[in-house]
Amino acid sequence: MSHRYRAYPTEVQAQVFARHCGDARWVWNQALAAVKAHAEDPTARFFCLTTARREIGWLAEGSSTVQQQALRDLAQALRNAKGGSHRFPRWRRRGEGDGFCVRDVAVHKLNRTWAEVTVPKAGRLRFRLSRPLPKSYGMARVTRDTTGRWHVSFAAPQPPVERVPTGAVVGIDRGVAATLATSDGELLRGPKLRPRERRRIERLQRQLVRQKKGSVRRRRTKDQIARAHAKAVRRRNDWIEKRTTELVRSYDLVAVEDLKVPQMTRTPKPKPDPDRPGAFLPNGARSKAGLNRAILDQGWGRFLRRLEDKAAASGVIVVRVDPAYTSQTCAHCGHVARESRESQAAFSCVACGHKANADINAARNILARGLALVPTPGQGARPGDRPARTSPADDAGSENSRRQVAA
């Protein structure tokens, strides 16, 4: 959880920041290359910032605080990857997630609307107080988004969601495109691109293809596309904040499908062209679906992270379950058959005749699996205890827990 504010650097400051971003990116990539080399050849040496600064003039001129922090960031990213919560760190490219960190932050409040934070070699950076400042800040991150706007954010602990225990439990299925289905039979529709936005992005993308690489016009088109996307992403993030708060407020336990398990493919597969090896035929995927999917698929990871952060701070259990076959299993009788999935939207059990919305049926299966992973109440488990993910309770225990948690 972090508090983010729009920052307004002067032109000179923006130049210094661009330089900091470049330094942080360079250090990150050098150190990452060394880590990769070391994995192949254990005699390869790790990256040493002190040596590099001694040998490379332009690096020594940059801020050592910013550069050191880039190394710490990478170390943390490697630890996260090792722990399995994040993917392996990737190369940083210019224009993708530009940013740098400042430690030992000094914030100075000017008035109700404006505050300043001190950045090495750049002096005080003004930012707009669009929300209250966190009570404490250890570190600040200054970032530039794809549209060239600067922000400053402070890491802050997630405050708990105000709630009373409800005894209610829920399973959530990630349905087609923009929808989440709950085991209570609700369909939560996420925001999509508006038709006008979609047409505009499509037009810009066609324009981009025709423009010369490296040209000013191409650069401008790229910026326009990024800005249009950023708007939709903000709307989506807003939606995620609201839905995750509602879920944490309403339920003592939320079961969701685990991200690490590969999603069943919902994108039409590329069709190889039989006449030309290596070439592909158009697969009929509509760009409309594609654009919306891009924005929402990237949102699922965020949705999970926000849900888990808020739940952990509020005494709510989130269980991740393996979603395999949840869309083909009858939530009523447990029969598994691909034929029961009548269509993308409809489930109709070939064994018992149970009919339901396919995603809601899947959400019920996800809930059942989640409950099976929770220790039986009465054996010391309370809401707020983290369930062991890998030790499913025995059958009788899970039946028991289902009744009690649901009661």
Q: Which residues bind Zn ion (CB under 5 A)?
A: 330, 332-333, 335, 349, 351-352, 354
Tell me how far, at minimum, the Cβ of 357 lies from Zn ion, in Å. 15
Tell me how far, at minimum, the Cβ of 117 lies from Zn ion, in Å. 59
CB nearer to Zn ion: pick between 365 and 376: 365
CB nearer to Zn ion: pick between 75 and 351: 351
**Cβ(140)–Cβ(108) under 8 Å?**
no
**Cβ(143)–Cβ(98) under 8 Å?**
yes
Report in angstroms the alpha-carbon separations of 32 from 10, 67, 68, 120, 350.
Answer: 32, 14, 14, 24, 53
**Gap between the Cα atoms of 354 and 207, Å rounded:** 50
| Coil vs helix vs strand at 228 | helix
Closest CA to 368 of 173, 167, 174: 173
Written as six digits, the tokens of 23 are 């330094």
Tell me how far, at minimum, the Cβ of 302 lies from Zn ion, in Å. 34
* Diameter of the chain measured on Cα atoms: 75
CB nearer to Zn ion: pick between 121 and 335: 335
Quickly count: other Cβ atoms within 10 Å of residue 324's Cβ.
Answer: 14
Tell me how far, at minimum, the Cβ of 340 lies from Zn ion, in Å. 7
DSSP letters for 15-77: HHHHHHHHHHHHHHHHHHHHHHHHHH-TTSPPP-HHHHHHH-HHHHHS-HHHHHHHHHHHHHH
Residue 150's H or E segment, with its range, is: strand 150-155
Tell me how far, at minimum, the Cβ of 364 lies from Zn ion, in Å. 11
CB nearer to Zn ion: pick between 68 and 357: 357
Tell me how far, at minimum, the Cβ of 396 lies from Zn ion, in Å. 22
Closest CA to 181 of 391, 386, 381, 365: 365
CB nearer to Zn ion: pick between 128 and 335: 335
**Which residues, including other chains, have CB under 8 Å from residue 147's CB and lie 6 or more apart?**
223, 226, 227, 230
Tell me how far, at minimum, the Cβ of 365 lies from Zn ion, in Å. 11
CB nearer to Zn ion: pick between 27 and 362: 362
CB nearer to Zn ion: pick between 292 and 340: 340
Tell me how far, at minimum, the Cβ of 335 lies from Zn ion, in Å. 5
Quickly count: other Cβ atoms within 10 Å of residue 375's Cβ.
Answer: 18
CB nearer to Zn ion: pick between 56 and 337: 337
